Amino acid sequence: MPDDVSLRDLMEARVSAIEKELRLSRESLDKRLESMNEFREQMSDQQKSYLPRAEYYARHETLEKRIAGLEKIVWGMGGGIALIEVISHLVQMK
């Protein structure tokens, strides 16, 4: 170590280097936290566009009832067609 550099100068240089490292670390952390906050905000905005569970179940129940009604119509039509075929065969046999 050169004789013209005092212990005080060395300590000040070291403290200055540590302060610079802390500042850079703090800036890096701030950028990461800002990025995380932006991501959290995007997730929150996206979540607002989701269909609420209660509304989903209400609409799903309505669709189930409509499908059940259509199934009854289809089965009824199938039964009607079968009946027509039976009658048609009976008429042809006479």
DSSP H stretches of helix in 1-94: 7-48, 53-93
The Cα-based distances of 22 to 8, 12, 13, 32, 53 in angstroms read 21, 15, 14, 15, 47
Which of the pair, 4 or 53, is modelled with greater confidence?
53
- Distance between CA atoms of 67 and 75, rounded to whole angstroms? 12
Q: What is the pLDDT of residue 2?
A: 55
Instruction: Round the average pLDDT of the chain to a whole number and report it.
Output: 92
- Distance between CA atoms of 49 and 42, rounded to whole angstroms? 11
Kindly tell me if the per-residue pLDDT of 13 is higher than 80.
Answer: yes
- Distance between CA atoms of 51 and 34, rounded to whole angstroms? 28
Q: What is the pLDDT of residue 47?
A: 92
Q: What is the pLDDT of residue 5?
A: 81
Kindly tell me if the per-residue pLDDT of 1 is higher than 70.
Answer: no
